[in-house]
Structure 1
Amino acid sequence: MLILLAAGCSLTTTSSSDIFDVPILTNWTKESGIRVVNNVSTCTIRLNDGRYRMYYPGADGISSSISTDGLIFTAEAGTRVARGTGSDYDADMAKDPDIIDEGTFYRMYYTANAADGKHRVMSATSTDEGYTWIKDAGVRINYTASYDQLADVQAALKISSNNYLMVFVYDWNGPNSLKGAISTDGLSWEVKTLTGFTDNCMDPDLILDASNNIIMFFAAPRTTSGPEPMDIYKATSTDGLAWTVTGRAIQPETSEEGNIVGDPDVILLPDGSYRMYYYGGNPRVQSDILSATATSL
Structure 2
Amino acid sequence: MNRSVFSVALGCALGAVIAAAPVRANTPPARAAAVVPQAGAYAFGCNPNGNDCAGTFLVSGQTITALSFRPVRCVDGKVSASPSAAIANRAFSYGATVASSVSVPVTFQASGTFQTSTGGSLTLRYEAPGVECAATTSTHTFIRRDDARLGWQGWRDAGLAIDGAMDLDVVVLPDGRMRMYYGLGVGGSNTWRITSSISSDGRTWTPESTNLVGRAWGPCDVVRLPDGRFRMYYTPSDDPDLAPGQMRSTRSAISDDGINWTVEPGHRLNPAAFTELVPSGGIDYQVSHPGVVRLPDGTWLLLTAFSIARGFDPKGVSSRDHTELIVWATSSDGLTFTARGIAVDSRNKATFDGMVGSPDPVIWEDGGVRAYFWSAGPQIPNDQKRYNGIMVTTFTGTGWTTPRPVRTSATFPGAAAAALPGGDPTTAIFNGRMFMYYGQFSGGHQVSQHSVMASRSYKVQARYSGGRITAGISAGSGALRTDVSTGMRCGRGLCAATVLAGTGMWLYATPARGYRFTGWAGCNGTRPGEYPPPTPEVKPRLCWVSATKNITVTARFARRR
| TM-score bucket of the superposed structures, by smaller chain | 0.7 to 0.9
User: How far apart, in 1, do the equivalents of 2:239 and 2:262 lie?
Assistant: 21
1:251 matched to 2:408? yes
Q: Which amino acid aligns with 2:356?
A: C
**CA offsets per residue over residues 35-65 of structure 1, 9 Å max, x none?**
1112211111122222221101234631111
Alpha carbons 1:47, 1:53 under 8 Å: kept:
yes
1:196: Cα distance to partner?
4.7
Distance 1:251 1:141 in 2: 32
**Structure 1 residue 79: Cα displacement:** 3.8
Aligned equivalent of 2:431: 270
2: CA distance, partners of 1:26 / 1:200:
29
Aligned to 1:35, the other structure's residue is in SS state strand
Instruction: Give yes or no for the alignment of 1:190 onto 2:338.
Output: yes
Question: Does structure 1 residue 131 correspond to structure 2 residue 255?
Answer: no
Any idea what SS the aligned residue of 1:138 has? strand
Of residues 105, 119, 123 in structure 1, which corresponds to 2:248? Answer: 119
2:177–2:200 CA contact under 8 A, matched in 1: yes
For 2:169 and 2:370, locate their aligned partners in 1 and report how far apart those are by CA, in whole Å.
16
Counterpart position of 1:165: 301
Secondary structure of 2:167's partner? coil
- Distance (Å, rounded) in 2 between the aligned partners of 1:220 and 1:155: 16
The residue type paired with residue 34 of structure 1 is L
Contact 1:258 1:282 in 2 (8 A): no
Tell me, yes or no, if the aligned pair for 2:239 and 2:248 is still in contact at 8 Å: no
Alpha-carbon offset, residue 276 of structure 1: 0.3
Deviation at 1:222, TM superposition (A): 3.4
**Cα distance 1:267–1:115, how it changes in 2: closer, same or farther (>3 A)?**
closer
Matched, 1:140 2:268: yes
Q: Which residue of 1 aligns with 2:221?
A: 98
CA-CA distance at 1:68 after TM superposition: 2.0
Partner of 2:198: 66
AA aligned to 1:158 is R
User: Does the 8 Å CA contact 1:204/1:264 hold for their aligned counterparts?
Assistant: yes
What letter is aligned with 1:277?
Answer: Y
Q: Which runs of 5 or more structure 1 residues have no equivalent in the other structure?
A: 1-6, 14-20, 84-92
2:370 to 197, 215, 230: 215
AA paired with 1:212? G
* Alignment partner, residue 89 of structure 1: none
Query: Is the aligned partner of 1:42 residue 2:199?
Result: no
Q: 1:36 to 1:195 in 2, by over 3 A?
A: closer
Match of 2:326 in 1: 178
Cα distance between partner residues in 2 of 1:165 and 1:261: 24
**Deviations 1:193-224, CA, capped at 9 Å, x for gaps:** 12553231111010111222111111012335
Match of 1:12 in 2: 103
- Report the Cα offset of residue 279 of structure 1: 1.0
Q: Distance in 2 between matches of 1:118 and 1:157?
A: 25
Which protein, 1 or 2, shows the higher relative CO under an 8 Å CA cutoff with sep ≥ 6?
Answer: 1
Aligned-residue offset at 1:187: 0.4
Kept in 2, the 8 Å contact 1:50–1:68? The answer is yes
The superposition leaves residues 52-89 of structure 1 with CA deviations (integer Å, 9 ceiling, x where unpaired) of: 21101234631111122111112212443752xxxxxx
Offset from partner CA, 1:148-182 (integer Å, 9 cap, x none): 42110111111135411111111254477111111
Contact 1:219 1:233 in 2 (8 A): yes
How many equivalent residue pairs? 264
Say if 1:12 and 1:224 are closer, same or farther in 2 by CA, change over 3 A.
farther
Does the aligned pair in 1 maintain the 2:235–2:251 contact within 8 Å? yes
Secondary structure of the equivalent of 2:304? Answer: strand
Deviates further, 97-106 or 274-283: 274-283
Which residue matches 1:293? 452
* SS, match of residue 260 in structure 2: coil
User: Contact 1:120/1:141 (CA < 8 Å) preserved in 2?
Assistant: yes
Larger helix proportion, structure 1 or 2? 2
C-alpha displacement of 1:115: 6.5
Q: Which amino acid aligns with 1:133?
A: W
Tell me the TM-score normalized by structure 1: 0.78
1:110 aligns with 2:234: yes
Give the conservation status (yes or no) of the 8 Å contact 2:368–2:394: yes
Helix, strand or coil at the partner of 2:367: coil
Question: Cα RMSD (Å) of the superposition?
Answer: 3.2
Given that 1:158 and 1:165 are in contact with CA atoms closer than 8 Å, whether structure 2 keeps it comes out as yes
Counterparts in 2 of 1:115 and 1:185: CA distance versus 1, 3 Å = closer
Mean CA deviation greater in 67-76 or 144-153 = 144-153
Paired residue type of 1:165? L
Aligned to 1:86: none
Partner of 1:261: 422
Aligned to 2:393: 235
**Does the CA contact (< 8 Å) of 2:211 and 2:259 recur in 1?**
no
Of 64, 77, 100 in structure 1, the residue corresponding to residue 209 of structure 2 is 77
User: How far off is 1:246 after superposition?
Assistant: 4.9
Q: Conserved in 2, the CA contact under 8 Å of 1:208 and 1:215?
A: yes
Whichever residue aligns with residue 101 of structure 1, its letter is: R
Distance 1:183 1:167, change over 3 A: same
Match for residue 18 of structure 1?
A: none
- The alignment status of 1:57 with 2:218, answered yes or no, reads no
In 2 relative to 1, CA 49–247 (structure 1 residues): closer, same or farther, beyond 3 Å? same
| Distance in 2 of aligned mates of 1:234 and 1:143 | 23
The 1:195/1:154 distance shift into structure 2, 3 A limit, reads closer
